[in-house]
Amino acid sequence: KILDACTLTIFGVGGNLSQRKLIPALFRLEMAMRLPEQLVILGCDIAVHDHDAWIGFVAGILHGIYQKDIDEAALQRFCRRWHYLAIPPGDDAAYGRLAELLQGGGFPPNMVYYMAVRPADYPAIVDKLGNAGLLRQNGGWRRVVIEKPFGYDLLSAQTLQSSLYKHLDEPQIYRIDHYLGKGTVQNVMVFRFANLLLEPLWNHHYIDHVQITHSEIHGIENRADYYEGAGALRDMIQSHLLQLLTLVAMEPPVSLSAEHLRDEKVKVLKSIRPITQNSVHAHAFRGQYSDGIVEGKSVPGYLEEKGVAPESVTETYAALKLFIDNWRWAGVPFYLRTGKRLAENSSAICIRFKNPPQDLLHRNNHQGHSQPNWIMLGIQPNDCLKVELQVKVPGLDLLTRTLSLDATYHKDNDDDFDAYASLLLDVMQGDHSLFLRMDEVEAAWRVVDPVLKVWAMERDFINTYPAGSWGPRGTYRLFDRDDQFWRHSL
């Protein structure tokens, strides 16, 4: 598909997100010749750079990634697309200069504005763009990409939404959750809706529980400023993990159009049984990493990280038990868990099946008790599908053991695009399917808000776990039975 000529303006272009994700993703598209031929990129940030210094900075990031294997021709094409504009804090004339620049010719009139800034800055930037006439759709379209978290809780999300609506119509807003751009996440839908085999089993009759995990070995890096006010529940669960849950649990949509898909996802979120303030203890667990050993090196605890308040109780680990009160999932717990400084980098969906109704072979298992079936979908770093089944151990005795059918479906020559690459293209194409609708955002806040409220009141204690471990032991209290346990390594 030939894409419209457009201008992509990135606010916060010097920041962490832009350096780690946006610039590399755009360059990956450049190498694959997938960017619109006439795409111009304007980077905006508070620091003052001249053009050459900025291009040097971009090239430095990419050299750091590709080293001597960099595609020089693509790099030259890429650098030619870039412009830079400094917007120093408090410089009210800056948006006038931005308007002059963008409207002064040379910049394609279709515009994407990407907010890669602190969430607190979204409304002010959109306001200034609106007041400078830069959001009016005359002569071309205007689209605004809002990074997560969309708000801080339900109320602030609604306030942010009202401030966006002063200048934008809904079709102009792209609320990004980069997990939806991951091929392995989209594969959850393919796995469910392109394979008839699973559908009869995909319900409370056969599934015991579902686990959705995202674990990271790194700490908060240099993001204390953001993380202290966010915590793991807001940072990962309200957005990415609840999105994964919707894909696992939703009904087949009427079609894959943006509205049909999002209608089904919203239904799942709305069916989640509200956690009452009294039940927070039974449904939620939080923890914070203390110092420990990660990959053979000693690392500091959260409280020793730069920018963290000495008595902070911000959680770096969070786990939830949720129930989806609908026909398909009645009584099936969904366990969601995430943490920084855990033992491994791993994101996966693990589905545990019930035991057979009559367990004829339970005495024969070499582990001494029956083992259930599991289906595991690896999201990252291993994009794999594993199915655990029971088989007979070769030999004279009728003994059983677990066999893992392990399909890694990523082939070496498959194209490998980061989630941001795919989502940036979607914005340029005007495809909302993988972006969040406001009712989804609201429903997701409704799920976590009661927990956030209770945790905000309990400010004198938080469980800790050593960096490099699998999190606090206390998290096991979320399980209903002794034979339920977290699946760690796939």
Residues forming the site for ligand BG6 (CB under 6 A): 216, 235
Is the Cβ of residue 181 or residue 253 nearer to ligand BG6 in the bound state? 181
| Residue 360 CA: distances (Å) to CA of 82, 198, 389, 401, 484 | 68, 24, 15, 14, 21
Tell me if 285 sits within 8 A of 275, measured CB to CB: no
Is the Cβ of residue 216 or residue 383 nearer to ligand BG6 in the bound state? 216
Tell me if 26 sits within 8 A of 58, measured CB to CB: no
Shortest Cβ contact with ligand BG6: which residue? 235
Cβ partners under 8 Å of residue 176, min gap 6: 145, 146, 147, 148, 423, 435, 436
Burial of 232 (0-12, 13-18, 19+ CB in 10 A): buried
Tell me if 117 sits within 8 A of 123, measured CB to CB: no
Cβ partners under 8 Å of residue 485, min gap 6: 476, 479
Query: Backbone dihedral region of 90: left (phi > 0), alpha (psi from -120 to 50 degrees) or beta?
Result: left
Residue among 77, 21, 29, 23 at smallest CA distance from 426: 29
Is the Cβ of residue 216 or residue 442 nearer to ligand BG6 in the bound state? 216
235 is in an annotated binding site: yes
Q: Which of 83, 240, 283, 432 is catalytic?
A: 240
Is the Cβ of residue 216 or residue 315 nearer to ligand BG6 in the bound state? 216
Q: Report the distance separating Cα 184 and Cα 418, nearest Å.
A: 11
Tell me if 64 sits within 8 A of 23, measured CB to CB: no
3-state secondary structure of 352: strand
Q: How far is the CB of 466 from ligand BG6 (least distance, A)?
A: 20
Q: Cα dihedral angle (47, 52, 54, 58), rounded to 10 degrees?
A: -170
Q: At 447, which helix (H) or strand (E)?
A: helix 438-457
366 is in an annotated binding site: no
Q: At 85, which helix (H) or strand (E)?
A: strand 82-86
Q: How far is the CB of 321 from ligand BG6 (least distance, A)?
A: 22
354 is in an annotated binding site: no
Q: Report the distance separating Cα 361 and Cα 467, nearest Å.
A: 40
Strand pairing category for 173-176 and 435-436 = antiparallel
Q: What is the dihedral sign for C-alpha 319, 323, 324, 330?
A: positive
Strand pairing category for 142-146 and 173-176 = parallel
Q: How far is the CB of 235 from ligand BG6 (least distance, A)?
A: 5
Tell me if 339 sits within 8 A of 216, measured CB to CB: yes
Q: How far is the CB of 216 from ligand BG6 (least distance, A)?
A: 6
Alpha helices per DSSP H over 84-239: 94-103, 122-131, 154-165, 183-193, 224-232
Is the Cβ of residue 6 or residue 348 nearer to ligand BG6 in the bound state? 348
Tell me if 14 sits within 8 A of 56, measured CB to CB: no
3-state secondary structure of 25: helix
Q: Report the distance separating Cα 419 and Cα 22, nearest Å.
A: 10
Residue 218 among the catalytic residues: no
1 is in an annotated binding site: no
442 is in an annotated binding site: no
Annotated binding site for substrate: 178, 182, 216, 235, 340
Annotated binding site for NADP(+): 148
Q: Which positions are catalytic? A: 240
Annotated binding site: 148, 178, 182, 216, 235, 340
